[in-house]
Amino acid sequence: MSAASLRVVPLDDLTLIYHRASGMTHLLAPPAPEILDALAAAPLTSAALLARLADEFDLSDADPAALVARLDELVAAGLVEKR
């Protein structure tokens, strides 16, 4: 999904995402917006995404299972495409 198809509005601790193609609006809590930001440039494997997030946010205890769960939620919401 291209970043151009999304309208992102930060709201304090939450982020509002409007998906232009579907007309749906989503309210996301961290780390979902950060995951979308990391995927905006190019598709990544879950391992590469975890490494990028761990590096960017200095995560020493990054949990691969938790990331996969968040990705599955974003796929179910239609905000991320599984490849």
Q: Where exactly are the structural domains of the chain?
A: 3-76
CA angle 18, 24, 30 (to 5 degrees): 55
**pTM of structure:** 0.87
42-67 pLDDT, tens per residue? 899 999 999 999 999 888 888 899 99
Q: How much of the chain exceeds pLDDT 70, in percent?
A: 96
Q: What distance in Å separates the CA atoms of residue 3 and residue 8, rounded to the nearest whole number?
A: 9
Neighbours of 73 (CB within 10 A): 14
